[in-house]
Structure 1
Amino acid sequence: MKKAEMGRFNISPDEDSSSYSSNSDFNYSYPTKQAALKSHYADVDPENQNFLLESNLGKKKYETDFHPGTTSFGMSVFNLSNAIVGSGILGLSFAMANTGIALFIILLTFVSIFSLYSVHLLLKTANEGGSLLYEQLGHKAFGLVGKLAASGSITMQNIGAMSSYLFIVKYELPLVIKALMNIEDTTGLWYLNGDYLVLLVSLVLILPLSLLRNLGYLGYTSGLSLLCMVFFLIVVICKKFEIPCPLPAEIIISEIVNNTITQPTSFVPEMASNMTDDSCRPRYFIFNSQTVYAVPILTFSFVCHPAILPIYEELKDRSRRRMMNVSKISFFAMFLMYLLAALFGYLTFYGRVESELLHTYSAALGNDVLLLIVRLAVLVAVTLTVPVVIFPIRGSITHLFCPTKDFSWWRHSLITVSILAFTNVLVIFVPTIRDIFGFIGASAAAMLIFILPSAFYIKLVKKESMKSVQKIGAMLFLLSGIVVMFGSMALIVLDWIHGASQNGGH
C-alpha cells in the first residue's frame, strides 16, 4: 500500500543497518562520521557538491554529513513506485465514473506532472537547505510553524492511509468470511459485521505488531503490497471481459435490495429495468455532485513526498539529476497502472462503480475464486501495513512532545493505543472510504504536493531572485495548491451538508 504516507523507505539488502540510530520508534537515518568526502562526489554537479560537502561549524553533523548511498537505481525506482501506489488505486474507477474518461485522463496527467514538479522543488530545496528531513526543512524555512506544518501534514496523511486500510478490512473481510463459510443469510451474525471485525483485527493482529520497538520484518510488507496491487490490476483487466453489461436483472435486483433499503419495494423492478444498454456506454465528460472528489482522490493516490528525501539519501552515486530520473520512471509507471485500473474498472461497471472498486465485484461475481484470492491478498497486505504506518506517527509525536526523554514502554503503548483507537473511531463512524480519500486528499495531500514544497523552495533557495522564472513558477504552484485545497474542501463540505439534508428529508 502507499508507503508515502509512512515517510519511510526500503532498506536494500546490502546496507549496513548499524548506521541507523534508534533515538525514536521510527529510524530516520542520521549518518555517522563521513570518511571519504573528498573524492566520492567528484562527478556530481556543483550544486550537489555544495550541499553534500558543506561543513559549516554552526550546523549539526547530521545536517551536513551524509553517508554514501548504497541503493541501486533500479531498487530506488522500485522503492519510490511502492511509495506512490496505495489504497487510493481502489478509488480511481469511482473518480472516472464521476468525471468521464477524457476529463479523468486530463486530471490524472496534471496531478502526476504537478507531483513530479513538486519533487523537483523538494530536491532542490534539500540541496540548498542542507537537510534531508522534511520536518527539518520546515523548521529551517519557517521555524516551529514550518516544522509543525510538515509534521502535521505527514501525520494526517498517515492517519488517512491507516483509515483507508482499515476501511478495506471493514468492507472486504465480511465478504471473505461469507464466501469461505458459504453463508447465505447474514442477518444477526456479529462476525459478518464490518465494524466488529475492524475492532477485532485491530486488537488481535495490528496492536501487538504496532507495539514492537522497531520495524523489523514488517518493512518487507512494502514489496508484498506492491505485488498485491499489480495482481489486483491484472484481475480488474481480466474481469472486464467476463462480466456482462448490463448485468442480469436478478443480480441487479439483489444488489438494489441489499444496498438501497430506503427505496419502496415497487421501485426495485423499475430501477432494474432502467439498466439498459444506454448505461453501458462510456462517457467522456461528467459533472455531478461526486465530481468534486476526483482531484482529492488523485492527489491522495500520488503522495509520496515524505519518502522522497530518504530514498534520495540512500541512492547510490547520488545526484539531483539521477533522483529526478528515478522519479520520472516511477511516476510514469504508476500513471499507467492507475490509468489501466481506473479505465478497466469503469468499463466493467460504468456508473455503478462504488467508492471502493473491489467491493463492486461482489454482486456481479458472488463467490468467485480468483476474486477471493485477490481479497485475501489485499487484506493480508493492508493488515500488515497498518503497523508500519503507525511507526512514523508515533515517532513524530514522541519527538514533538518528548524529544529528550528516554524510552518508556508506558508512553510507547499509550501513544500506540490512542492512534489506533482514533483511527478505528474514524472507520466506524465515517460513512464511506470516499470521504477519507476526499478529505485527506484535499487537505494533507494538497499540503505535501503543492503548498509545502513550493513554500520551502521560495524561502530557502536564496540564489534565485523573486523575479526569476523558477521563483515565479513556484509562487504560481503555491497559489494553485491553495486554490485546490480550499476549493476542494469547500465543495466536499457542501456535498456533505447537501447529503445530510437529503437523508434528513427521507
Structure 2
Amino acid sequence: MAPEVKVPLLEGRGATPAQTLGNIVVSIVGTGVLGLPYAFRTAGWLAGALGVAGAGAATFYCMLLLLDCRDRLREQETEEDGHGGEQRPHGDGGNYTYGDLGERCFGPVGRHFTEAIIVLCQTGGTVAYLVFIGQNISSVLPALSSATVVLALLLPAEVALSFVRSLSALAPFSILADACTVLAVAAVVKEDVQLLVKRGQPFAARSAFAGLWGVPFACGVAVFCFEGFCLTLALEASMSNRAKFRPVLLQAIAGVTVVYVSFGVCGYLAYGDATRDIVTLNLPSNWSTAAVKVVLCVALALTFAVMMHPIHEIVERAALHLSRVAVVATLAAIACFVPAFGEFAAFVGSTVCALLSFVLPALFHLRVVGPTASTWARAVDYFFLLSGLVFAGHGMYTVLSPQ
C-alpha cells in the first residue's frame, strides 16, 4: 500500500485543535492568493466574491465526503474482522490516503487514476511556483531579461533540493514560504488601502459583474487557491481527538474564505483594469517592494522540494525509472512556456483541481456510502460529480479552443 502522505508541520500524532487549525491553513494558503485580484478583475468584484465563497463551501463539503468514506470503510473492516472474514487491504491502522480510497472503491485502476490526478495537480502547483518566481525576479532584476533565464539559473539548486527526501528537513522552508506569503499579502493590502483612501470612491468605475465567461475563470483560480485537498485525511488522522476535526476544518475554511474574498476585492478595487495576474507586480518600484518579491521567491524556491515530494513518491513507486533531475527539468521547461500565471492557475484549478476536489470525493461517496445514503445526499453527490466534470470540460475547452 502507498505510504501515508505526511503533513510537513506534523511528525506523528496527538495534534491539538489549535495546531490542526494552523496546519490546515498552512496546507491551504499558497501563492494562488496573489492571483485573486486579477480573477476579480476578470469576473467583477461581486461575482468573484461569490465564486470564492462557493469554492470554499464546496471544498469543505467534499472534504467531509472523504471523511465519510473513510469512516464507512473502517466500519466495514470492523464487521469483516468480527465475522472472521478475509480482511481487505487498508491504510496503516485504518488511516487511509487518497489513493487508498481510490483502490477500495475501484480496485488498482482507482488507485492509479487517483494518484495520476494528484500528480497532475501537484505538477500544476509546482509549475505555478516556477512561473511566479520567474515573473517576479525578472521584474526586480531586468538584467536577467526574461523568466526563462531566471528558471535556467534556478534549475541546479532545485535539482539538488529534490534529493532531500525528509519532509521534516524541508518543513522549515515551507513555514518560511507561508510567512513570506503573509508578508507579501500585508504589503499588497497596505498599498491597496492607501490607493483606496486617495480615490475616495472605491467602487467607482469598478464592475460588480464583468460578464458570464469571467465567472468560471474566477472559480478556477479560487479552486486552485484551496490547495492541500489531498491532505485532508492525514490532517484528521494527526489529531489527538479526531471528533473535533470537522468543526476545526469549518473554522479554517471559513476564515481562509473571508481572507480570500477581502484580499481579492481590495486588490481589484485598488488597481481596476490595471490589475496584474500576480498582484505583487502592481506594487510600486522601490526597495521595499523588491525586497518582498525577492524574499517571497527565495522562500518558494526552497519550498519547491516540498511540492515535488508527492510527485517523486508516486512516480518512483510506479517504477517508471524517471530520475528526479528529469522531472524537475521537465517542469522548469513547461514553466518557460506558460504565458501568464493567472490563466495557468485558472486552468489548473478548473481541470485537475476540480477533479481532485469535487469529482473524486463525490464519486467515492456514491460508491461507498451511496447505497445507504438518503435521496438528498445522493442528489448532492451527483450535483458535485456532474458540475465538476462540466467545470473541468469547460476549462479544457477554454485552453484548446482557438483564441
Asked if Structure 1 and Structure 2 have the same fold, meaning a TM-score greater than 0.5 normalized by the shorter chain, the answer is yes
Q: Is 1:486 aligned to 2:393, yes or no?
A: yes
From the superposition, tell whether residues 329 and 111 of structure 1 become closer, same or farther in structure 2 (CA, over 3 Å). Answer: same
2:67–2:233 Cα contact (<8 Å) kept: yes
Distance 1:161 1:284 in 2: 29
Alignment of 1:60-209 (within 5 A): 69-130=13-74, 131=91, 132-178=96-142, 189=143, 191-203=144-156, 205-209=157-161
Equivalent position of 2:309 in the other structure? 391
Tell me the TM-score normalized by structure 2: 0.87
1:141 Cα offset (Å): 0.5
Aligned length: 379
From the superposition, tell whether residues 434 and 104 of structure 1 become closer, same or farther in structure 2 (CA, over 3 Å). Answer: same
Alignment of 1:276-287 (within 5 A): 281-287=205-211
1:77–1:330 Cα contact (<8 Å) kept: yes
Greater relative contact order, per chain length (Cα 8 Å cut-off, separation 6+): 2
Q: Is 1:340 aligned to 2:299, yes or no?
A: no
Local SS of the residue matching 1:401:
coil
1:176 Cα offset (Å): 2.8
Output the amino acid matched with 1:88: G
1:294 Cα offset (Å): 1.4
1:244 Cα offset (Å): 8.0
Distance 2:349 2:165 in 1: 30
Matching residue within 341, 344, 352 for 1:436: 344
Task: Note the alpha carbon deviations across 1:385-436, whole angstroms, 9 max, x for none.
Answer: 111111110101122237xxxxxxxx5xx42112111111111112111232
Matching residue within 190, 215, 223 for 1:238: 190
1:123 Cα offset (Å): 0.5
Output the amino acid matched with 1:304: G
1:292 Cα offset (Å): 4.1
1:246–1:280 Cα contact (<8 Å) kept: no
Distance 1:292 1:391 in 2: 30
Equivalent position of 1:61 in the other structure? none
Distance 1:352 1:245 in 2: 18
Equivalent position of 2:252 in the other structure? 330
Superposition RMSD in Å: 2.4
1:245 Cα offset (Å): 10
Equivalent position of 2:83 in the other structure? none
Structure 2: segments with no counterpart, 5+ residues: 75-90
From the superposition, tell whether residues 353 and 11 of structure 1 become closer, same or farther in structure 2 (CA, over 3 Å). Answer: closer
Distance 1:435 1:470 in 2: 34
Matching residue within 297, 300, 305 for 1:379: 297
Alignment of 1:295-310 (within 5 A): 295-310=219-234
Instruction: Calculate percent identity across the aligned residue pairs.
Output: 21
From the superposition, tell whether residues 7 and 297 of structure 1 become closer, same or farther in structure 2 (CA, over 3 Å). Answer: farther
From the superposition, tell whether residues 280 and 455 of structure 1 become closer, same or farther in structure 2 (CA, over 3 Å). Answer: same
Task: Note the alpha carbon deviations across 1:321-362, whole angstroms, 9 max, x for none.
Answer: x2111211111121122112212211221011121111222x
Q: Is 1:311 aligned to 2:232, yes or no?
A: no
Distance 1:101 1:278 in 2: 11
Local SS of the residue matching 2:43:
coil
Equivalent position of 2:335 in the other structure? 427
Equivalent position of 1:24 in the other structure? none
From the superposition, tell whether residues 242 and 481 of structure 1 become closer, same or farther in structure 2 (CA, over 3 Å). Answer: same
From the superposition, tell whether residues 157 and 169 of structure 1 become closer, same or farther in structure 2 (CA, over 3 Å). Answer: same
Distance 1:279 1:344 in 2: 10
Distance 1:418 1:228 in 2: 29
From the superposition, tell whether residues 345 and 305 of structure 1 become closer, same or farther in structure 2 (CA, over 3 Å). Answer: same
From the superposition, tell whether residues 77 and 242 of structure 1 become closer, same or farther in structure 2 (CA, over 3 Å). Answer: same
Output the amino acid matched with 1:97: R
Bigger-Rg structure (1/2): 1
2:102–2:364 Cα contact (<8 Å) kept: yes
Structure 1: segments with no counterpart, 5+ residues: 1-5, 17-68, 179-188, 248-276, 403-410, 499-506
From the superposition, tell whether residues 78 and 110 of structure 1 become closer, same or farther in structure 2 (CA, over 3 Å). Answer: same
Distance 1:171 1:165 in 2: 10
- Larger fraction in helix: 2
1:475 Cα offset (Å): 1.8
From the superposition, tell whether residues 280 and 395 of structure 1 become closer, same or farther in structure 2 (CA, over 3 Å). Answer: same
Local SS of the residue matching 2:7:
coil
